[in-house]
Chains A and B, each alone.
Chain A
Amino acid sequence: MELGEEIAQRTAFGQALVELGAEKPNMLVLDADVGPSTQTHLFGRAYPDRFIEVGIAEQNMVGIAAGLSTLGFVPWISTFAVFMTKRAGDQIRNSIAHPKANVKINGAYGGLPTGRAGATHSAIEDLAVMRAMPNMIIMDPADPREAAVCARLAMEIEGPVYLRTVRCPVPVIFPEHHKVEIGKAVKLHEGKDVAIISSGMMTPRALKAAEILEGQGVSARLLHMPTIKPIDIEAICDAAESIGAIVTVENHSIIGGLGGAVCEVVAEYAPCRVKRLGFPDVFLESGDDEVLFSRYSLDIAGIVSVAKALAEGGKKNK
């Protein structure tokens, strides 16, 4: 994994499971007929005895994992985030989250990139659904490296973890010994005119945007949130108080995900202007990932122009 190299995050995740499998003999992986898509088939090939194919039956998969966890196994359950968090949402809530089952959940195909599968397959609200569940830790890694780091971290936590992965290639931005701390933002760029808070695959493009803004005389602080829950309240409040203008950027609906979480913190502890970039309460559609992302200003140019407008508006207000 070289810095700047574009690697599908799902593949990095699948390979991380194989590595972890070698170290943790009690780890199991369950999938619901989408192993070649989520890349858990890599684990299935490496450890056929520890891979359980449940068929197209997401609700049953969750229950089986809950049962296995009572015997000391640590099951990963894996399918598309859209079906995982809604079809099996009640099972996750009542068989995993409430009993604090030690089950790790891979929400694959997070957000828009689904290989053009469109509205029915794009998980635009998985973070919102999972965030409202007590006991749930939520990770939204930025790059292939961090996806692997998060998978490892999930195994160190006792209890439910939701790890979101995306289908498409994402550039590696983190160096080899990158560490993630639960509930701690990663500051990737320092600035004073505007704060950009991003998560998941939006972080590499937000980083590019911050560098471009620098060249245009706008200094942006970029905070990456590897965990959406718990969220780094301190870092958000500091940005709100010392900068006073925040743009959130996520591959998710503007309702209930990263933007929602930041707004909750800001409204309660440190009121300031927040602009949420994400899907504006719409279902997505089929088409090229980048063409569709650009419609919601979720490309580098879009982030630059939204952040710039907010920074300039902020200056005028002062």
Chain B
Amino acid sequence: MAHEHDVGFLESVAHQIRTLIIDTAHTAGAGHTGGSLSEVEILTALYFSFLNVDPECPDWNERDRFILSKGHASLGYYVTLALKGYFPTDNLKTFDREDSTLQAHPDMHKCKGVDYSTGSLGQGLSIGVGIALGGLKKNQQFKTVVLLGDGECQEGQVWEAAMFAGSKHIPKLIAIVDYNKVQLSNKVDENLSLEPFAIKWEAFGWNVLSADGHNIADLLSVLSRASALSARGPVVIIANTIKGKGVSFMEGKYEWHGKAPNDQEYTAAKKELGSK
């Protein structure tokens, strides 16, 4: 555990996650590659440093809670959970197949380490608010972290949850937005702009921080500030990221939202990742 805050170590974990995302998507012939690659450093910082969790006791009552509200990016999530030790990396070969614990969208009753089932966008923040509120009522100390997509923030329910948490000053609740500027069918700005984004969250009563979502050191320091601030009310981290990060021909392209690499693309992607 001495490694846990060593940025170099975390970067190597992130690289491993990225490589396994490509492997897993290729084997399955399925998966949301773009949004999985954009969340890699965020998940690394969370699971390998920030979150107080124990893969040996996934249901430990005092654990920090994490909800992948952008549930379609399960691929990056499963790889992270596997490397963290929740289940063998070999299970990744069953991703998205019949009877797999690793369903296309995370299922809390099938996959160890998943705190809540997701897949329909816009619902995770409300669930996180409920968990944080429950923890408060029971006087528990855990933090609740919810990872949202930027396109997802077009859903009205996100803002209903934001209004509630802001107005009630719900503590120990941290939302992170994977601000990769791309959704399923287009760039977010061209479909429906979220801007001015930070101001919206502020107006809803949240503390707003921003981070370079691919810089582990920055993520760690912003997370630690968020943790301190969250004692008094909810905090959102707007993490600037690149959809498809790490594979040049996937970067910033909505075409790679829900697509897995074919053999040729796989070889090219691996070559790029290998040379780092």
Contacts and interface: CB of A to CB of B under 8 A. Distances in A.
A54 B96 contact: no
Nearest to B121: A56
Interface string A274-318: 000000000001111001100000000000000000000000000
B98 A287 contact: yes
Given A60-B156, A118-B119, A285-B99, A53 B185 contact: yes
Contacts of B97: 286-287
B155 A117 contact: no
B181 to A, nearest CB: 13
B261 interface: no
Contacts of A175: none
A238 B269 CA distance: 61
A82 B120 contact: yes
A291 B183 contact: no
Contact of B192 (A36, A55, A287, A291): A55
Contacts of A54: 192
B270 to A, nearest CB: 23
A214 B15 CA distance: 60
A286 B154 contact: no
A241 to B, nearest CB: 41
Interface in A50-76: 53-57, 59-60
B120 A120 contact: yes
Nearest to A82: B120
B35 interface: no
A117 B104 contact: yes
B104 A56 contact: no
A59 B159 CA distance: 13
Contact of A33 (B30, B117, B118, B185): B185
Contacts of A291: 98
B186 A53 contact: yes
Residue among A35, A60, A117 with max Cβ neighbours from chain B (10 Å): A117
A87 B99 contact: no
Contacts of B99: 285, 287
B119 A33 contact: no
A121 interface: yes
A33 B186 CA distance: 8
Given A33-B191, A34-B184, A87-B120, A286 B156 contact: no
A114 B223 CA distance: 37
A115 interface: yes
B252 interface: no
B100 interface: yes
Contacts of A13: none
B35 to A, nearest CB: 13
Contacts, number: 88
B152 interface: yes
Interface in B94-131: 96-100, 103-105, 107, 117-122
Given A33-B151, A57-B154, A59-B156, A120 B185 contact: no
Contacts of A57: 154-156, 192
Contacts of A53: 185-186, 191-192
Contact of A56 (B119, B155, B258): B155
A95 to B, nearest CB: 14
Given A119-B105, A120-B119, A286 B100 contact: yes
A37 B98 CA distance: 22
B184 A33 contact: yes
Given A118-B104, A119-B105, A83 B96 contact: no
A116 interface: yes
Contacts of B30: 115-116
B185 A288 contact: no
A54 B122 CA distance: 15
Interface in B226-272: 258
Contact of A116 (B96, B154, B156): B96
A83 B123 CA distance: 12
A69 to B, nearest CB: 21
Nearest to B95: A286
B185 A36 contact: yes
A33 B98 contact: no
Contacts of A286: 96-98, 100, 103-104
B3 to A, nearest CB: 34
Contacts of A60: 156
Contacts of A121: 104-105, 119
Contact of A36 (B119, B154, B184, B191): B184
B166 interface: no
B119 A119 contact: yes
A33 B182 CA distance: 11
A118 B103 contact: yes
B71 interface: yes
Interface string A249-269: 000000000000000000000
A59 B156 CA distance: 8
Nearest to A60: B156
A239 to B, nearest CB: 35
Contacts of A83: 120
Interface string B203-214: 000000000000
Given A33-B151, A83-B120, A116-B96, A41 B185 contact: yes
A-B pairs, 3 with minimum CB distance: A120-B119, A55-B192, A287-B98
Interface of B: 30, 71, 96-100, 103-105, 107, 117-122, 151-152, 154-156, 183-186, 191-192, 258
6 contacts: A34-B184, A41-B185, A59-B156, A285-B98, A286-B96, A287-B97
